[in-house]
Structure 1
Amino acid sequence: MKFETDRLILKPPAAEDIGAIVAVANDPWIAEMTLMPHPYLQRDALAWIAKAKEDWESHGHGGLAIFTRTGMAFAGAIGLKATEAPGVCSVGYWLSPAVWGRGFATEALREMLRYGFEVVGLQKIEACHVIENPASGKVMEKAGLIHATPEDLPARDGQGMVPGIVRHITADEWRATQFASTP
């Protein structure tokens, strides 16, 4: 399983990616802007790789490592995760601060929406971000997640909640945007 966009390659994470995953995921900015564990250890990367493999095998979607097409540098992660509601997945992502502001997150997110709606046949895709990370909300808006609802999200340490925003787009809304952008 591999996805290619204009500037990125998205593929399931592998054992050879562990060093890069841990190095990037341990950046304090990622900890500040996401709900990922921090410090992010090798065991966290191993668990993510195993979970991604399991999800792809059982659901046909899961976690993907993001690499730049130029130089194949590890840039971050993205993935679709099943929710309790049938036909609905959540998408999550994080990217290295070294590549922030280049549109990579939007590009990867658009590819996940395409895959989720066209291939998996989802009816709705949602994503969330903490209030302290409005840039992630802008990424979601650019990719088409047009509905936004304030909602408390579980804290990284599992103790309490943090203010956040949950966004979503339905398959019909996504298809309408694809039709509208076709010449």
Structure 2
Amino acid sequence: MKLETERLILKPPVAEDIDAIVAVANDPWIAEMTLVPHPYLQRDALEWIARARENWEKQGYGGLVVFTRTGMAFVGAIGLRALDEPGVGSAGYWFSPVVWGRGFATEALRELLRFGFEVAGLHRIEARHVIENPASGRVMEKAGMGHAAPEDLPDRDGDGMVPGIVRHLTASEWRDLQLQPSFSP
């Protein structure tokens, strides 16, 4: 399984991706802007790959690694996971600070939303970001996720909470967005 956009390739992670995942995910900026564990070790990448594989097998969607189409440079990770409510998924992502501001996260999230609604058949997709990372919220907005509400999120150590924002988009809203000339997936 592989998803492609104009500039990116998104595919389920494999063992050969571990070194690239660890090298990027261990960046202190990613830790500061997300709930990704820090330091991010090889065992964290192995656990994420195992969860991604299990999710793909059980629900038909899961974690994806993101590479540039030109040069196949690893730039980040994105994925969908099932929530307790049937037909509802949660999107999450992180990207290398080297590519921040280039639109890769928005491009990847739009493709993930398309896949979630059109292929996986979800009727609502949520995404969360820590309040200190408004840029992630802007990525979600540009991808069409306009609904926003405050929500406390578990911190990366699992022993406390941090202020965050939850956003969502429904399948019918996604279909409506596709009809707008100014919205290009």
If the length of structure 2 is used for normalisation, what is the TM-score? 0.97
Amino acid aligned to 1:169? L
Structure 1 residue runs of 5 or longer lacking an equivalent are none
Which residue does the alignment assign to 1:11?
A: 11
Using the TM superposition, give the Cα deviation of residue 129 of structure 1 relative to its aligned residue in structure 2, in angstroms. 0.2
Which residue does the alignment assign to 1:47?
A: 47
1:131-151 CA distance string (max 9 Å, x none): 000000000000000100011
5 Å-filtered alignment, 1:119-158, equals 119-158=119-158
1:129-180 CA distance string (max 9 Å, x none): 0000000000000000010001110011001100000000111111111123
5 Å-filtered alignment, 1:160-171, equals 160-171=160-171
Question: Take 1:70 and 1:136, find their aligned partners in 2: how far apart are those partners?
Answer: 24
Using the TM superposition, give the Cα deviation of residue 30 of structure 1 relative to its aligned residue in structure 2, in angstroms. 0.2
SS of the equivalent of 1:169 reads: strand
Count of residue correspondences:
182
Q: Taking every aligned residue pair, what percent have the same amino acid on both sides?
A: 76
Amino acid aligned to 2:165? I
5 Å-filtered alignment, 1:93-132, equals 93-132=93-132
Amino acid aligned to 2:44? D
CA RMSD of aligned residues (A): 0.9
SS of the equivalent of 1:180 reads: coil
Amino acid aligned to 2:142? K
Q: Stretches of 4+ moved more than 4 A in 1?
A: none
